[in-house]
Amino acid sequence: MIGRYNMEKEINFGIGLVTGRANVCDIVNNYYKDMLEQVGRFSEKVKITIFILFDSSYQQTPREEFYNIKAPVYENIKIKYITPEDIKEQIKKLSARKEIKNEDVEFFLGHGHAKGRNTIMYYAIKYKMDYLLFWDDDEYPVAVLKENGKNVWLKQDNILKHLEFMKKENADVTIGYHCGYISPIPYIDYTEKFTEKDMKEFIEVISNDIISWESIREKMNNNNGVTYANSEIARGKGEYEIKSDGIGKWVAGSTLCLNLNNREKIPAFYNPPLARGEDTFFSTLLGDSKIIKIPVYHFHDGFLKYKGIMEGTYPKSLRKINVKEENIKSRFLKATLGWIKYKPLLLYIKNRETYRAEIDAMIGKLQEIVPKLNEIFNDNCFSVLLEELKKYDKDVEQHYNDYIRTNEIWKELKNKINND
């Protein structure tokens, strides 16, 4: 190569979007120029491929709505749609080689939070990507800071920073930060019937590596439930290596970049059926991997209330998301169900000796809190949380076996991927 690029080969950079919402097209259409501008500032030539795995059944989105990407995007960026037909074809091809069992391929590839990410990893390797960045369809590459009582918005180099630190640190995984509405927990006004203590106990029941009472309480009390970015980090300072806490090296599932040249250091994603936690269980298997926390943010628009940000309309204030607003109850319930369903497996992996006592304590707290939540939302829908916790507790050993099996399949599969 001539000019400012060195003689090394072109870097293939993949962006993975697992989606069930047409909002994914807005992400690509509004940020493709920024993507190209960022890689244009890197010291080596970079080619971007965007992998879109869509699931029409997630929100009953018509299939054609996932194809509303503007023509100019295709001029310098490759778009690879991973359709249900593609997945079926890959399963047939892999099974035909008799190198891996058909039931194992079907178990690994497909739709869902974990299987979708695994499928994109598979295709990224198949298409010879060097790096793969997962980007959720409700996140924007900007940071919001609170300075002198006002919101300050800063654009973020969410591709360039990953490239730079992958090269600089020879990392296996790089992971950025999130600001905005980082969890779908709405603002709840405390009353005599539902106190701060009730909220604390509920958060402790659903808590995980990302959600904790301390973080939620601080945001609700001071910032309308909003997480504001750190000034130094938003301006590109403060990277560090994540060390294990004895259980995992904890990362989130978006603004997460994988070095596919070191695929032996990249585990698979897993979640129990219809649960969340795919990034949590991925994190528990990163013990031998080098993970760098990098200074870059995504703004999480968890309730899709600020889509104008994608077009450069930055709100002067970020308001409370109240429990009474339209669709907030269903979003909150869906999220808490996803968390409740994976909590038994997480506790089982962490410490089997204390598992039974911790599950029994969760059940006891939910028995007290669920009726109060039902009253707040004027609906008995939260009763399902207790039912699902008991169900997933009962099935925890099977889910543990599936977690192990998923990674055994990945170890076998990732070195057999070819480019047919």
Mean pLDDT of 119-127: 97
CB 162 within 8 A of CB 294: yes
Does 83 score more than 60 pLDDT? yes
Q: Is residue 271 a part of any domain in this protein?
A: yes
pLDDT tens, residue by residue, 146-201: 999 999 999 999 999 999 999 999 999 999 999 999 888 888 888 888 899 999 99
The answer to whether residue 391 scores a pLDDT higher than 50 is yes
Amino acid 363: pLDDT: 96
In this structure, what token pair is assigned to residue 80? 């690879």
| 6 within a domain of the structure (yes/no) | no
Q: Please report the pLDDT score of residue 2 as a whole number.
A: 38
pLDDT band for position 7 (50/70/90)?
A: low
pLDDT tens digits, 190-235:
888 889 999 999 988 988 777 788 888 888 877 888 999 999 999 9
Instruction: Look over the chain and give the mean of its residue pLDDT values, rounded to a whole number.
Output: 93
% of the chain exceeding 90 in pLDDT: 77
Residue from 132, 138, 100 nearest 117 by CA: 132
Record the pTM: 0.94
Q: Give the pLDDT of residue 352.
A: 97
Is residue 237 included in any domain, yes or no?
A: yes
pLDDT at 6 over 90: no
Q: Which of 377, 379, 399 is nearest to 388 (CA)?
A: 399
The predicted structure's pLDDT at residue 353: 97
What confidence tens digit (pLDDT) does each residue in 129-143 have? 999 999 999 999 999
d(CA 215, CA 218) in angstroms, rounded, equals 5
How far is Cα 107 from Cα 219, in angstroms, rounded to an integer?
39
Q: What Cα–Cα distance (Å) separates residue 164 from each residue in 58, 94, 128, 174, 239? A: 35, 35, 20, 10, 11
Domain extent, residue 62, equals 11-413
Whether 1 is in a domain gets the answer no
Report if residue 173 sits inside a domain. yes
Q: Is residue 389 included in any domain, yes or no?
A: yes
Cα–Cα distances in angstroms (integers) from residue 259 to residues 81, 168, 212, in the given order: 21, 13, 29
Question: What are the tens digits of pLDDT across the range 368-377?
Answer: 999 999 998 8
Q: What is the pLDDT of residue 3?
A: 43
Q: Could you count the other beta carbons within 10 Å of the beta carbon of residue 3?
A: 6
Helix, strand or coil for residue 174?
strand
In this predicted structure, what is the pLDDT of residue 269?
Answer: 98
Please, are residues 124 and 51 in contact by the beta-carbon 8 Å criterion? yes
Residue of 344, 366, 367, 340 whose CA lies nearest to 356: 344
Which pLDDT score, from 0 to 100, does residue 325 have?
78
Q: What is the CATH number of the domain that holds 396?
A: 3.90.550
Query: What is the number of structural domains in the chain?
Result: 1
Given pLDDT bands bounded at 50, 70 and 90, which one contains residue 59?
A: confident
Distance of CA 263 to the CA centre of its chain: 19
What is the per-residue pLDDT for 257? 98
Percent of the chain topping pLDDT 70: 97
420 within a domain of the structure (yes/no)? no
Q: Measure CA 292 to chain center.
A: 17
Judge contact between 175 and 292, C-beta under 8 A: yes
